[in-house]
């Protein structure tokens, strides 16, 4: 840790990073997403340092994971303490696991009174899908264009992007797709609010034309992350929930990346007081320890007999102890309020940048999760994936780490740890402004 530290200014890759990246090229599968070419060594709060000792402000939080900041001392201490006590016991209850379940249920709307602890978001969405089938006795799942729910086969099947499925064989039958509210690129060429959320009516059309009358559950993200940080207009999710109720379909909200303060509320469902039948949690819940959870109702979980669903590492004492620390940190450090305040500041800066940068087509976000969509031309909205690669590299060279997502890879994701200070937010926005001026 006692490395010489300097702020990154020149090229993206330092000498030690370059050396280690050779190992990656020689031994790794090479199937992971492309980030700036640096090898990271350690982190603290909203900052990361690479193996060459260069400092970066982090706008990635892993991929919306480290909400309480990198290596929060309280989280680190909790893991260290638990590591000397007990690491894993399959399915035996332990005090940390039970306490996580109790506290998570306490944070939920009243009806979500049962918690099933898992390790990854994909496990949580898979479990939700299976539970929907078992409970309703219906095979079908409604999902959305552009939706992302993980990379296991069931979760992939519920994904609404062909690129995630191409060449991976036959997807699970019985998943149907309806358009999400991607207002910047409305699939119907309409504009909000004049459209009166026309896309919602497609749920009925899909139900009537594509399904076998067998839809038991609907899964949806509060905002679409992987497809480009796409935020539906206020009221859209309520409309989806109402459709579920009217059609006797379980409403499954996938908050794997949207919860734990990210959108400026502890849980994204709070914005519209949603009452999903199932809530999938992950990422920020552990802020670095691998915890995920499926929250649901006792009546729904009761369709499973003991032993029918489980996970080798789910609710393990190490990760549970970490998650308890994360919950404490949220209570003690007002991270949700910080996400609101800093998020407002950053969104304001981006909106100003949008006025002067001819490539920044759309700026959108809530709390501390924002998408900057780059286009070659603001009139035609032709996506600019090459521009986002430039932004990633130029920002990294100046000490700012960002990632990209989207249908076309043309959206820069802005999702710093929720502990980011006003000074760090200002400095990092200054870097982005400079990068955009140079495009
Ligand atoms: N659901 C959503 C909305 C996600 O964003 C992700 C991951 O990015 C997942 C599920 C899958 O989570 P994991 O990668 O932990 O399996």
Query: Are residues 146 and 245 located together in one domain of the fold?
Result: yes
Q: Is the dihedral of CA 278, 283, 288, 290 positive or negative?
A: positive
Q: In a 3-state reduction of DSSP, which class is residue 83?
A: helix
Alpha-carbon distance 245 to 419, whole Å?
A: 38
Out of 293, 315, 333, a domain closes at 333
Residue 94 lies in a domain: yes
Report the helix count and the strand count for the chain, using DSSP H and E. 13, 17
* DSSP 8-class letter at 340: H
Number of domains making up the chain: 2
Ligand 1 pocket member 257 (CB < 6 A): yes
* H-assigned helices in 268-365: 298-301, 317-333, 335-356
Alpha-carbon distance 390 to 375, whole Å?
A: 13
Q: Which of 124, 282, 286, 292 to mutate to test the pocket of ligand 1 (most atoms within 8 A of CB)?
A: 282
Ligand 1 pocket member 97 (CB < 6 A): no
b/e per residue, 341-368, with b = 16+ CB within 10 A? Answer: bbbeebbebbeebbeebebbbbbbbbbb
Cα angle value 331/332/336 (rounded, 5°): 60
Ligand 1 pocket member 149 (CB < 6 A): yes
| 118 Cα to the center of ligand 1, angstroms | 13
Asked if residue 297 lies in contact with residue 277, where contact means CB atoms within 8 angstroms, the answer is yes
| 186 Cα to the center of ligand 1, angstroms | 24
Query: Are residues 181 and 316 located together in one domain of the fold?
Result: yes
- The pLDDT, as a whole number, for residue 7 is 53
| 16 Cα to the center of ligand 1, angstroms | 31
Alpha-carbon distance 243 to 248, whole Å?
A: 8
Out of 333, 361, 378, a domain closes at 333
| 292 Cα to the center of ligand 1, angstroms | 10
- The pLDDT, as a whole number, for residue 8 is 52
Residue 392 lies in a domain: yes
Query: For residue 231, which phi and psi values (nearest 5 degrees)?
Result: -110, 120
| 47 Cα to the center of ligand 1, angstroms | 23
Token readout for 32 is: 């992971």
Query: Are residues 291 and 209 located together in one domain of the fold?
Result: yes
| 52 Cα to the center of ligand 1, angstroms | 31
CATH number at residue 104: 3.40.640.10
Alpha-carbon distance 141 to 109, whole Å?
A: 24
Query: Are residues 133 and 100 located together in one domain of the fold?
Result: yes
Angle between helices 335-356 and 422-437 (to 10 degrees): 20
Ligand 1 pocket member 148 (CB < 6 A): yes
Cis amide linkage into residue 381, ω under 30° from 0 = no
For residue 347, pLDDT over 60 is answered with yes
Q: Is the dihedral of CA 24, 26, 27, 33 positive or negative?
A: positive
Q: Whose CA is nearest to atom 1 of ligand 1?
A: 149
Out of 298, 333, 368, a domain closes at 333
- The pLDDT, as a whole number, for residue 2 is 42
For residue 26, pLDDT over 90 is answered with yes
Angle between helices 95-107 and 317-333 (to 10 degrees): 40
The CB density around residue 29, as the number of other CB atoms within 10 Å, is 6
Q: Containing domain of residue 140, as a range?
A: 75-333
Alpha-carbon distance 33 to 348, whole Å?
A: 29
The CB density around residue 277, as the number of other CB atoms within 10 Å, is 26
Ligand 1 pocket member 121 (CB < 6 A): yes
Check: pTM over 0.95? Answer yes or no: yes
Query: Are residues 326 and 340 located together in one domain of the fold?
Result: no
| 255 Cα to the center of ligand 1, angstroms | 9
Query: Which bin fits 294, alpha (ψ -120 to 50), beta or left (φ > 0)?
Result: beta
- The pLDDT, as a whole number, for residue 1 is 42
| 10 Cα to the center of ligand 1, angstroms | 34
Query: Are residues 39 and 135 located together in one domain of the fold?
Result: no
Residue 2 lies in a domain: no
| 122 Cα to the center of ligand 1, angstroms | 6
Ligand 1 pocket member 122 (CB < 6 A): yes
* DSSP 8-class letter at 391: H
Ligand 1 pocket member 410 (CB < 6 A): no
Ligand 1 pocket member 373 (CB < 6 A): no
- The pLDDT, as a whole number, for residue 10 is 61
Alpha-carbon distance 383 to 359, whole Å?
A: 9
Ligand 1 pocket member 120 (CB < 6 A): yes
- The tens digit of pLDDT for each residue in 301-342 reads 999 999 999 999 999 999 999 999 999 999 999 999 999 999
- The tens digit of pLDDT for each residue in 234-293 reads 999 999 999 999 999 999 999 999 999 999 999 999 999 999 999 999 999 999 999 999
Alpha-carbon distance 261 to 427, whole Å?
A: 22
Nearest Cα to Cα of residue 180 among 111, 99, 237, 251: 237
For residue 3, pLDDT over 90 is answered with no
| 254 Cα to the center of ligand 1, angstroms | 9
Q: Whose CA is nearest to atom 10 of ligand 1?
A: 149
- The tens digit of pLDDT for each residue in 39-94 reads 999 999 999 999 999 999 999 999 999 999 999 999 999 999 999 999 999 999 99
Query: Are residues 310 and 357 located together in one domain of the fold?
Result: no
Residue with tokens 């939706």: 147
Q: What is the H or E stretch that residue 207 is in? A: helix 202-209
Q: Which of 61, 118, 256 to mutate to test the pocket of ligand 1 (most atoms within 8 A of CB)?
A: 256
Query: Are residues 164 and 274 located together in one domain of the fold?
Result: yes
Query: Which bin fits 313, alpha (ψ -120 to 50), beta or left (φ > 0)?
Result: alpha
Tell me what percent of the residues of the chain surpass a pLDDT of 90.
96
Alpha-carbon distance 141 to 277, whole Å?
A: 14
Q: Is the dihedral of CA 67, 72, 74, 77 positive or negative?
A: positive
Q: What's the mean pLDDT when you consider all of the chain?
A: 96
Work out the pLDDT band at 296, boundaries 50, 70, 90. very high
Q: What is the H or E stretch that residue 56 is in? A: strand 54-58
Query: Are residues 210 and 92 located together in one domain of the fold?
Result: yes
């Amino acid at each position: 840790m006692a490395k010489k530290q300097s702020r990154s200014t020149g090229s993206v890759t330092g000498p030690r990073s370059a050396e280690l990246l050779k190992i990656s090229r020689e031994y790794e599968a090479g199937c992971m997403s492309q980030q700036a070419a640096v090898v990271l060594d350690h982190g603290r709060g909203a900052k990361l340092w690479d193996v060459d000792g260069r400092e970066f402000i982090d706008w990635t939080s892993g991929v919306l994971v480290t909400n309480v900041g990198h290596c929060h001392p309280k989280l680190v201490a909790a893991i260290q303490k638990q590591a000397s006590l007990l690491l894993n016991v399959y399915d035996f209850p332990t005090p940390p696991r039970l306490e996580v379940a109790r506290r998570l249920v306490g944070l939920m709307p009243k009806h979500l009174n049962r918690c099933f602890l898992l390790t990854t978001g994909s496990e949580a969405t898979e479990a939700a899908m299976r539970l929907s089938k078992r409970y309703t006795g219906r095979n079908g799942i409604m999902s959305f264009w552009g939706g992302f729910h993980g990379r296991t086969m069931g979760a992939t099947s519920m994904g609404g992007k062909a690129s995630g499925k191409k060449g991976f064989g036959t997807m699970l039958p019985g998943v149907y797709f309806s358009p999400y509210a991607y207002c910047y690129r409305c699939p119907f060429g309409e504009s909000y609010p004049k459209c009166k959320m026309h896309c919602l009516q497609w749920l009925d059309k899909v139900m009537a034309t594509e399904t076998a009358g067998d839809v038991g559950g609907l899964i949806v993200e509060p905002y679409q992350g992987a497809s480009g940080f796409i935020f539906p207009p206020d009221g859209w999710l309520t409309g989806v929930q109402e459709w579920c109720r009217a059609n006797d379909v379980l409403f499954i909200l996938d908050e794997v990346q949207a919860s734990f303060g990210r959108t400026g509320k502890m849980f994204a469902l709070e914005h519209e007081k949603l009452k999903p039948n199932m809530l999938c949690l992950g990422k920020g819940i552990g802020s670095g320890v691998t915890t995920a959870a499926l929250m649901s109702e006792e009546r729904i979980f009761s369709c499973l007999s003991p032993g029918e669903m489980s996970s080798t590492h789910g609710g393990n004492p190490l990760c549970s102890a970490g998650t308890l620390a994360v919950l404490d940190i949220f209570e003690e450090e007002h991270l949700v309020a910080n996400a609101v305040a800093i998020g407002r500041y950053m969104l304001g800066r981006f909106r100003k940048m949008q006025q002067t940068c001819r490539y920044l087509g759309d700026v959108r976000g809530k709390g501390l999760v924002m998408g900057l969509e780059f286009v070659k031309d603001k009139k035609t909205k032709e996506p600019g994936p090459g521009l986002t690669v430039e932004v990633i590299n130029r920002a990294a060279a100046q000490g700012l780490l960002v990632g990209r997502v989207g249908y076309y890879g043309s959206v820069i994701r802005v999702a710093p740890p929720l502990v980011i200070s006003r000074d760090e937010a200002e400095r990092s926005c200054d870097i982005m402004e400079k990068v955009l001026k140079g495009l």
